[in-house]
Structure 1
């Protein structure tokens, strides 16, 4: 169970995962050793899964993003999911109901790179067909 100091530590890390132990200790009014021990406990217990990079808006605004609906041969679903996970341009993969089985959220540095990525996805074993929608503009994001 998390206490108030743990919750504060998590909030600070969510704002800046690169914050130093010293800065976190000062902000929490705790010793460096206490903060290190809390981080270790939170990581070992699975509360903290990892530390990530949040990309800046100036970089993201230059990417071409798309939603790719993917129809998969049922017997090859697990294998196809593993292969899709290996493509770094896929930021998320969702299982869905309906005509298609999956929706991949993809980001490429150009329309040419997106075209090659769509070919790569379509050529994977187990993929029967795809349908893609390029995102033209983000109205809002939460």
Structure 2
């Protein structure tokens, strides 16, 4: 369980993970040592798993992105998921409830590449059907 301070710290890091501990301390109105200790505890608890690059919208706008709903034959779910995780175009994979079993977020260079990737996914043993939607614009990303 996280405290209010932890929640505020995580929120600040989600906005900009490159903030110095001094700047985080100033924003949160606590000492640098407190920020360092909280970050270490959040890392040790597995709440913070790592730090990564978040690509800018100008770069992402040059890519074709799509959400793909995938219905999977239940007995082949683990196998299909393993195969999908190996695809370079899969930016995210979510297990969901409802009429479909998975949502993929694909990211490719062109509509041709998207079409080929969708064909390949549809041909995987255990995939029953797919429905895709091209992402036109991202308005909120946190």
Structure 1 unmatched ranges of 5 or more: none
Shift of 1:112: 2.1
TM-score (norm 2): 0.75
Q: Does the 8 A contact of 2:65 with 2:107 survive in 1?
A: yes
Shift of 1:77: 0.6
Aligned-partner SS, 2:54: coil
Deviations 1:76-125 (A, max 9, x none): 01121122222242223342422x43332222121122123213312323
Corresponding residue for residue 97 of structure 1: 98
Q: Does the 8 A contact of 2:93 with 2:102 survive in 1?
A: no
Q: Size of the alignment, in residue pairs? A: 139
Aligned-partner SS, 2:128: strand
TM-score (norm 1): 0.75
Alpha-carbon distance between aligned partners in 1 of 2:11 and 2:104, rounded to the nearest angstrom: 29
Structure 2 unmatched ranges of 5 or more: none
Corresponding residue for residue 31 of structure 2: 30
